[in-house]
């Protein structure tokens, strides 16, 4: 695991066998696999689901032929060693469910073969490194670390000038586009209003100059007629309402007088 044949990008082997017979269960890239014939280039360290404590040893960075590193579900503490950035061919790294703290080393951004990264459920904080592979990881790679900032958790990071600059430039561009839209909108509205006003004034001037105001007189007469009819209808309704009330009151008075006379007659009898 410490030596790579640069011509084949594979671990160098002194023997001629390309695999050895054995049976082992490994977890790689989120999948649980049972391997029977283990290829010599299939270099994996899986120490997950144990009770290991203490710091991750920096010497792991010397195992440059590792393809999979799984140290999840332990009690590991301290920082992630920057030496892990030397694992140039690592494809899967799972250090989740530990007690790691500090920031994610920027050296990990240089791991161009890294397809799966899981740093969830630790105590990591600070800015997430920016790199080609880190742009492909989703939120579940970092969940459970409330102190982390940056893509994909948030839009920007205070210590990431590139992200902040891009976010600021994007916000300014949006503001400029909105400003241009409103400017164009008001220009179009004013142009339409001005054009309509000019056309209307021209028509009125033409009609006044030619003396053809019959249409205006007709409109005024119709409006006056409608107003008069509405007033008459309202007055008629008020008169009918008063008449109904008077009839009801008169009938009530008549019944009251009749009842009084009837009561007086009974008393006399």
CATH H-level superfamily of 4-155:
Ribonuclease Inhibitor (3.80.10.10)
pLDDT in tens, 201-248: 666 666 666 555 666 667 777 888 888 888 888 888 888 777 777 776
Confidence check: pLDDT of 90 > 70: yes
Of 11-25, 77-91, 192-206, least confident by mean pLDDT is: 11-25
d(CA 113, CA 90): 6
Q: Which residue has the higher pLDDT, 88 or 251?
A: 88
CB distance 77 to 99 below 8 Å? yes
Q: What percent of the chain has pLDDT over 70?
A: 55
Hey, where are the domains in the chain? Answer: 4-155, 160-212, 213-257
- 3-class secondary-structure state, position 120: coil
State pTM to two decimals: 0.52
Q: Which residue has the higher pLDDT, 157 or 58?
A: 58
d(CA 42, CA 196): 79
Q: What is the longest distance spanned by two Cα atoms in the chain?
A: 144
N- to C-terminal Cα separation, the chain: 133
Q: Which residue has the higher pLDDT, 5 or 16?
A: 5
């Amino acid at each position: 695991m410490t030596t790579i044949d640069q011509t084949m990008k594979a671990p160098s082997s002194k023997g001629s066998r390309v695999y050895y017979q054995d049976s082992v269960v490994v977890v790689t890239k989120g999948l649980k696999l049972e391997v029977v014939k283990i290829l010599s280039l299939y270099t994996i360290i899986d120490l997950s689901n144990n009770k290991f404590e203490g710091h991750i040893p920096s010497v792991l960075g010397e195992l440059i032929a590792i393809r999979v590193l799984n140290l999840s579900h332990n009690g590991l503490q301290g920082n992630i060693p920057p030496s892990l950035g030397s694992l140039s061919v690592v494809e899967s790294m799972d250090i989740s469910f530990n007690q790691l703290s500090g920031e994610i080393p920027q050296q990990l951004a240089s791991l161009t073969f890294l397809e799966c990264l899981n740093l969830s459920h630790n105590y990591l904080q600070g800015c997430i490194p920016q790199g080609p592979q880190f742009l492909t990881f989703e939120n579940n790679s970092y969940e459970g670390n409330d102190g982390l900032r940056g893509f994909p958790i948030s839009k920007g990071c205070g210590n990431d000038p590139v992200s902040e600059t891009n976010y600021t430039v994007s916000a300014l561009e949006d503001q400029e586009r909105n400003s241009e839209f409103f400017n164009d909108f008001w220009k179009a509205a004013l142009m339409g209003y001005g054009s309509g006003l000019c056309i209307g004034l021209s028509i009125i001037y033409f009609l006044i100059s030619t003396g053809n105001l019959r249409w205006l007189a007709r409109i005024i007469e119709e409006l006056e007629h409608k107003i008069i009819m509405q007033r008459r209808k309202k007055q008629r309704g008020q008169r009918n309402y008063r008449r109904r009330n008077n009839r009801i009151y008169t009938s009530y008075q008549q019944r009251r007088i009749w009842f009084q006379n009837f009561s007086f007659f009974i008393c006399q009898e």
